[in-house]
Amino acid sequence: MRMFVSGTWVDRDEKIEVRDPQDGALIDTVPSASLEDIDLLLASAEDGRRIARQMPAHQRMDILNDAAARIDAAHEEFARTIALEGIKTIREARKEVSRAVTTLKISAEEARRLTGETIRFDQVAASERRLGYFTREPVGIIAAITPYNDPLNLVAHKVGPAIAAGNAVVVKPDSRTPLSALMLARALQEAGVPSGVVQVITGQGREVGNALVRDPRVRMVSFTGGAAVGAEIMRHVGIKRVALELGSNCPVIVMPDADLDLAVTANVSGAYWAAGQNCLHVQRLFVHEKIFDEFSSRFVQGARSYTVGPKLNEETDMGPLINERHAENVERLVAEAVAAGARLLTGGERSGNFFSPTVLENLPASCSLAREEIYGPVTVLYRFSSLDDAIAQANNVDYGLQAAIFTRDLEIAHRAIAGLDVGGVMVNDSTDYRIDAMPFGGVKGSGLGREGVRSAVLEMTEPKVVCFNLTGGI
């Protein structure tokens, strides 16, 4: 495929191969952009931001709704592309397509709702003759840098709100999974998005991504990915808006009064969706000592029931990790934990890029798995005796995206909600629960700002205050 620059599809001699992580098969190639392409693209984005700013709300809405309808009409083509270039099974990929359609539709609705407020200037003495309000104005050009695990919907989460808010947006998708983003760009082009308002550039992150981040014409950087890259962005970004979603090491607390059927089912799904390559992955499960043995037995049984295999097979529950280097790293972290004294309850086996659903217990606090995000199908079980202790352990990492608690007791639920240092608490759902309309983001090392369509629209706009001094009287 070609990349989408200045309203046209362009190619370059140097190529990036897009390979199926399942078996290394070549799917397609995309251009490897140069620094000269960045200048071309941002010059077009300068024109695009002026056009986008003047687009009326109904035009923004029409474009987003039309693009959503086009994606929905090609649902299976999008799903197959997500599955082939990435790590999701076909059933997981279909759900991502449905979510992307919803994300664009919600974005269209937020274009309708983007308003300001009146201001009571007469709350201050001698301002009785002043009237005013504020509006919300687009920030300008937004650089959107997206990861491989949700190659369509996480692009939609940046592009949809950017269009709704009247911005121009430049997307730099992960070089391993660029095809879904390019297909989204085509749907937007066919829906009538003006030239320069949306562009997708393909290239290596360190060269293309760093150039975008540093360029003063870019007024906001929206990044989803790893903490190390997020920290590097902060070193280069300069004075501009930044939204960072940097992952987590999500904790779940299971109380003795929990519905065990629900807790086991929800957390097995949360642990092994997309082979654990998910910022909301259930990595740490704190289970009360009264129910630990029963929960552990049932959770391990659930992990063993997963079918790991070819992504396009309708019966497959879990596919591969993104590449062999990542699979080897997961294998190394599990081996390190076992060598340090952790007990392997199931899994721990790698075959190429595939890694079996894995459950550990008795993990020493010194192990990387206890502190860092593994981004793989590995979950650790811990015993606890008091809720305060479980909350303290849950908070004892430099992440804070989402946490969860399973209980029937409202008082206990509210104690956990108040005590957990995270951006979201799910009660009787795993940490992997999310809808695309809710504010989404974390605290501590999990990032800055909030996604979720309405929250992203607000992040992508600036308030502008207007005040009239009515010299002729009211």
Pairing of strands 250-254, 282-288: parallel
Tell me, yes or no, if 279 is annotated catalytic: yes
- Rounded CA-CA distance 52/61 in Å is 12
Cβ neighbours of residue 404 under 8 Å, at least 6 residues apart? 250, 251, 252, 253, 270, 282, 425, 426, 427, 429, 430, 431, 433
DSSP assignment of 30-99 equals EE---HHHHHHHHHHHHHHHHHHHH--HHHHHHHHHHHHHHHHHTHHHHHHHHHHHSS--HHHHHHHHHH
- The answer to whether the CB of 349 falls within 8 A of the CB of 356 is yes
Cβ neighbours of residue 390 under 8 Å, at least 6 residues apart? 253, 286, 288, 384
Q: Both tokens of residue 220?
A: 């906001």
The angle subtended at Cα 289 by Cα 283 and Cα 292, nearest 5°, is: 55
- The answer to whether the CB of 402 falls within 8 A of the CB of 442 is yes
- Rounded CA-CA distance 68/187 in Å is 8
Exactly one of 85, 110, 250, 279 is catalytic; which is it?
Answer: 279
Q: Strand, coil or helix: what is 206?
A: helix
- The answer to whether the CB of 153 falls within 8 A of the CB of 128 is no
Q: Both tokens of residue 406?
A: 């399973």
Q: Both tokens of residue 268?
A: 């097995």
Which one-letter amino acid corresponds to residue 164?
Answer: A
Burial class (CB in 10 A: 0-12, 13-18, 19+), 397: buried
Handedness of CA 376, 148, 205, 240 (dihedral sign): negative
For 127, which DSSP code?
-
Exactly one of 110, 245, 361, 373 is catalytic; which is it?
Answer: 245
Cβ neighbours of residue 267 under 8 Å, at least 6 residues apart? 252, 254, 282, 285, 299, 379, 430
- Rounded CA-CA distance 348/333 in Å is 10
Q: Both tokens of residue 266?
A: 């929800």
Catalytic residues: 245, 279
